[in-house]
Amino acid sequence: MKKNLPFKLLLAVTLLSFTTVNPPEGLNINDNAPDFKAVDQNGKIIQLKDQLKKGSVVIVFYRGEWCPYCNKQLMELEDSIALISNKGASIIAISPEKQEN
């Protein structure tokens, strides 16, 4: 069963590539995320650095519609969209799923 989650600020993206020379080994608290380009659910290429020019970005990793824990996390995040957007931030959910999902 496919679910359409009504996120106004949510950009579901499929990771294209990191622009860093060496692959990241993980991040620590307060580290900057590496810049990346990705394709959103509408086929548009977005880049983290461009989104950061508009304000802060909350990045969420979403394993897929098959994951009940991920779906619950996104539903709970939906309750915070107004708070996040009022702070001038946007949300990017990164998923390995195909566009149709």
User: pLDDT digits over 40-78, tens only?
Assistant: 888 899 999 999 999 999 998 888 888 999 899 988 888
Cα first-last separation, the chain: 10
Report the alpha-carbon distance of residue 94 to residue 54 in Å, rounded. 19
The pair of three-digit structure tokens given for residue 79, joined into one six-digit string: 């309750």
- Over pLDDT 90: what percentage of the chain? 28
Pairing mode, strands 57-61 and 90-94: parallel
